[in-house]
Amino acid sequence: MRTVFHNGPILIEGALRDGMAVSVKHGMIEAVVPDLPRPEGEAVDLEGDILAPGFIDTQVNGGGGVLFNDTPTIETIAAIGAAHRRFGTTGFLPTLISDDLPIIVRAIEAVDQAIEHGVPGVLGIHIEGPFLNVERRGIHRADKIRPLDHEAVALLTRLKRGRTLVTLAPDMTSPEMIRTLVARGAIVAAGHTNASYAQMSAAIEAGLSGATHLFNAMSQLGSREAGTVGAILDSDRVTAGIIVDGRHVDPATLRVAIRARGSEALMLVTDAMPTVGGPREFVLQGKRIRVVDGVCVDDDGTLAGSDLDMARAVANTVTMLGQPLTAALAMASAVPAAFLGLGQRYGHIRAGAAASLVRLRPDLSVASTWITESRSSRATPSG
């Protein structure tokens, strides 16, 4: 059956356009056409709400009261996806923070099963550590951090379906190991690192293409040593994730990054914990974590992910960073889709793209979402 979305501004090629309609059939966008008084098909009247590509979050540790590290299963992934879908996320990478190799294996197998069984929105996995610099570990446990070796490379690249994003510290490995990971299909990002500008530049030359939560847990831009941040801002090959909650990074600092690289090089991430759509407290690898003033912290005040959802990240990008809504929406959809190599299927409203969509009220809260199921090629509504 054909579904036609109409009577509201639609984000088309970077602009919010009125007087247009989106025709969806078999879970794919069939056409973007001028609106008609009587659309041919089942009409979805947007009633003036915005229709945009569904949000893609490449860093989701948990949601709905569950944490991926605790129980890396298909059921956990489904619960996390359902919690974040309420906030416009139609594509995500379940994210595993530093853990033992057997847990990483279980997590990869769970993501494979989730994609095979059509769990809505799962695009792959993000393995954040344990190949990090212990000095920049943040909330990651020091006893979990280990060197990257060939055994680990083989393990990290065993996912059969979807994308694999690996966050590592370039200063704790070699360009050759990064090159091997990339050659085996992984997307590599820098994070939790003390890398110098030279070390980061060598990693980028080897194929590193991402930065995990820019400015947080990495060597900063200095007057005589540009560090990890300087290398990221100086490169046109790196897409950086940013947490726009007003607490992880000062909004002025993020505005500087946008001026340096442009919004098209920055993608919104949540780094979300189980508190998104769940209780205000949880346990992370033996530590009590609670929400204080909008962020997740342990008893010592160390940041432990976030309580942010993608709808608020978009709204904050407009209000805190002064970005046009169109740019904020792209940072939540088109930019991460391109980073994952999925830009032909996701992140845009155009013929041939998947019908993974979000309907936003004027206050940017989420009215409903649609996700194209990978197995059945049909868009399932929510909300």
Q: Which residues are catalytic?
A: 271
How far apart (Å, rounded) are the C-alpha atoms in residues 182 and 179?
A: 5
How far apart (Å, rounded) are the C-alpha atoms in residues 203 and 198?
A: 9
What does the buried/exposed string (b/e) look like for 340-363 if buried means 16 or more CB atoms within 10 Å of the residue's CB?
Answer: bebbebbbbbeeebbbbbbbbeee
Encoded amino acid at 261, one letter: R
Please name the residue that has the structure tokens 């974040």.
84
* In contact, 379 and 357? CB cutoff 8 Å: yes
Q: Rounded to 10 degrees, what is the CA torsion of 113, 115, 120, 124? A: 110
Please name the residue that has the structure tokens 């890398």.
195
> What strands lie across the sheet with 42-45, from one edge to the other?
28-34, 20-25, 2-6, 42-45
**3-state secondary structure string across 161-212:** CCEEEEEECHHHCCHHHHHHHHHCCCEEEECCECCCHHHHHHHHHCCCCEEC
At a CB cut-off of 8 Å and minimum separation 6, what does 109 contact? Answer: none
How far apart (Å, rounded) are the C-alpha atoms in residues 224 and 226?
A: 7
Could you tell me the two tokens for 147?
Answer: 């060197």
Residue 129 pairs with which residues in a beta bridge? none
Q: Which of 364, 378, 343, 371 is nearest to 87 (CA)?
A: 364
For 203-214, the DSSP string reads: HHHTT--EESST
How far apart (Å, rounded) are the C-alpha atoms in residues 232 and 369?
A: 33
For 49-78, the DSSP string reads: -EEEEPEEEEEE-EETTEETTT--SHHHHH
Backbone angles phi, psi at 228, to 5 degrees: -65, -45
At a CB cut-off of 8 Å and minimum separation 6, what does 176 contact? Answer: 206
Please name the residue that has the structure tokens 């695009």.
123
